[in-house]
């Protein structure tokens, strides 16, 4: 029997609703496969501001660091728009990533056969399904480099500096090679090496590392071409690894290819197996508390937790198969509903998936 301690940050808006369904599924997995998952609920985001005046309390960080993994709902909402920038709910995410050393973000983009009609691409392009994983560097690059204003050739100008060290590149590539080994052993490093020195360093490090992963087929692609290929021939990709800014853009593009943001999970890692798992959607305050939110992304996020942090492949597959089964039966929450489907609320969708565990 495995013993796993999970810190749960339900967050704001629909966060508590979808997180609760994910917790229920995880408990069922524990019962079926004889694991013990214990949960400690802590605050972050807007609800933490309301409760104790800060978006990321020290108690929350301590609980997360003491856990084996973190489950996160969603944070933020217009209620806290007037809060000073340093304490906005979204700052809790940056604080968690920084304090927990989460430098690697995994975002899968998967099309289920039952939802193929929701894909904006031609049917022949995604025939047979689509399953891409984007590995994004999360704590370096232009977002974290030197930035500011100065007097330039044409007057005042702004600047943002892209900086990457070999250490930062090597650790994200290690993660990417490792997850490629768990999938189809194809890794594409996306960069702009024809222009950027940082990209050339990425390629140098990747070339040095590829001998450690002889089973993985490593390729390179410029980011502008990758953006085109994602809509022209996305099935050529298995795992994509890239820098912070390029990953930010490409992962959003890939998510829209699937047709529904409400279905997509994500994971953030540091060194080792510790991770933070969350759906990629926001807090959606306009539907909070109305039993309308889609819990599938949150449920698939705990599936990623089982696979990548706890290495429980069979248990992760049980969740993925349960989600696939309910979708094939035509069960839909409002965000993915179309005429002829069975309309379900948040709780009902969670119950439907639970029956297949």
Tell whether 254 is covered by a domain: yes
Q: Does residue 268 sit within a domain? A: no
Are 76 and 8 contained in the same domain? Answer: yes
Task: Let me know whether 326 and 231 are in one domain.
Answer: no
Is 222 inside any structural domain? yes
Residue 252 and residue 232: Cα distance in Å, rounded? 16
- Would residue 264 count as lying in a domain? no
What's 158's DSSP letter?
E
pLDDT of residue 357: 94
- Candidates 41, 79, 143, 185; catalytic one: 143
pTM: 0.88
Q: Are residues 249 and 124 in the same domain?
A: yes
From the list 79, 131, 186, 248, the catalytic residue is 248
Claim to verify: residue 234 and residue 287 sit in the same structural domain: no
Residue whose entry in the numeric block shows the structure tokens 């959606």: 284
Helix (H) or strand (E) holding 70: strand 69-74
Same domain, 254 and 127: yes
Domain match, 76 and 199 both: no
Whether 11 is covered by a domain: the verdict is: yes
Q: Is residue 108 part of a domain?
A: no
pLDDT of 316 reads: 97
* Phi-psi domain of 340 (left: phi exceeds 0; alpha: psi -120 through 50; beta: other): left
In the annotation, is 248 catalytic?
yes
Q: Are residues 200 and 326 in the same domain?
A: no
Last-in-domain residue among 226, 258, 290: 258
CB 262 within 8 A of CB 296: yes
At residue 124, the pLDDT reads 84
280 and 153 belong to one structural domain: no
Number of H helices, E strands in the chain: 11, 14
Active-site annotation holder among 160, 224, 271, 286: 224
Calculate the alpha carbon distances from 6 to 218, 298, 313, 315, 336 in Å.
Answer: 35, 14, 18, 16, 30
Q: What is the pLDDT of residue 119?
A: 83
User: 134 with 215, same domain?
Assistant: yes
Model confidence pLDDT, tens digit, residues 298-323: 999 999 999 989 999 999 999 999 99
Q: Which of 91, 110, 192, 307 is catalytic?
A: 192
Residue ending a domain, choose from 258, 288, 308: 258
The count of residues in the chain is 357
Q: Is residue 114 part of a domain?
A: no
> Do 231 and 127 have their domain in common?
yes
Domain end among 227, 258, 289? 258
Structure confidence at residue 141 (pLDDT): 94
Count of domains observed in the chain: 2
> pLDDT tens-digit profile of 312-353?
999 999 999 999 999 999 999 998 888 899 999 999 999 999
At 14, which CATH number? 3.40.718.10
Q: In the annotation, is 192 catalytic? A: yes
Same domain, 233 and 324: no
In a shared domain, residues 251 and 286: no
Query: Is residue 224 flagged as an active site residue?
Result: yes
User: What confidence score (pLDDT) does residue 123 get?
Assistant: 84
Kindly report the backbone phi and psi dihedral angles of residue 2, in degrees, each rounded to the nearest multiple of 5, phi listed first. Answer: -90, 145
What residues of the chain score a pLDDT lower than 70? none
Considering the candidates 27, 252, 335, 337, report the single residue annotated as catalytic.
252
Nearest one of 237, 187, 175 to 215, comparing CA atoms = 187
> Is 317 within the bounds of a domain?
yes
325 is in which domain, residue-wise?
1-101+273-357
């Amino acid at each position: 029997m495995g013993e796993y301690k999970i810190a749960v940050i339900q967050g704001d808006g629909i966060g508590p609703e979808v997180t609760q369904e994910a917790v229920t599924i995880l408990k069922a997995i524990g019962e079926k496969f004889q694991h013990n998952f214990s949960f400690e609920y802590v605050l972050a985001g807007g609800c933490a501001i309301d409760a104790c005046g800060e978006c990321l309390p020290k108690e929350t960080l301590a609980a997360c660091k003491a856990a084996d993994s973190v489950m996160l709902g969603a944070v933020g909402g217009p209620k806290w728009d007037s809060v000073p920038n340093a304490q906005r709910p979204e700052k809790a995410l940056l604080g968690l990533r920084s304090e927990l050393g989460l430098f690697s973000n995994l975002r899968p983009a998967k099309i289920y056969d039952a939802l193929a009609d929701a894909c904006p691409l031609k049917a022949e392009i995604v025939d047979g399904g689509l399953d891409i994983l984007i590995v994004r560097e999360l704590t370096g690059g232009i977002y974290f480099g030197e930035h500011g204003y100065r007097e330039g050739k044409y007057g005042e100008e702004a600047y943002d500096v892209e900086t990457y060290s070999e250490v930062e590149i090597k650790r994200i590539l290690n993660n990417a090679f490792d997850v490629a080994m768990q999938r189809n052993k194809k890794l594409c490093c996306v960069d702009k090496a024809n222009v950027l020195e940082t990209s050339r360093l990425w390629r140098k490090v990747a070339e040095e590392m590829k001998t450690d992963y002889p089973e993985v087929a490593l390729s390179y692609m410029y980011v502008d071409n990758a953006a085109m290929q994602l809509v022209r021939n996305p099935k050529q990709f298995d795992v994509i690894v890239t820098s912070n800014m390029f990953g930010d853009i490409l992962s959003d593009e890939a998510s829209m290819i699937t047709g529904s943001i409400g279905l997509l999970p994500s994971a953030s890692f540091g060194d080792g197996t510790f991770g933070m798992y969350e759906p990629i959607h926001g807090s959606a305050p306009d539907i909070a508390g109305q039993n309308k939110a889609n819990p599938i992304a949150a449920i698939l996020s705990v599936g990623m937790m089982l696979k990548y942090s706890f290495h429980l492949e069979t248990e992760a597959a049980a969740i993925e198969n349960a989600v696939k089964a309910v979708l094939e039966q035509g069960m839909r929450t409002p965000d993915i509903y179309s005429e002829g489907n069975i309309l379900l609320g948040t709780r009902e969708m969670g119950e439907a998936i639970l029956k297949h565990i």
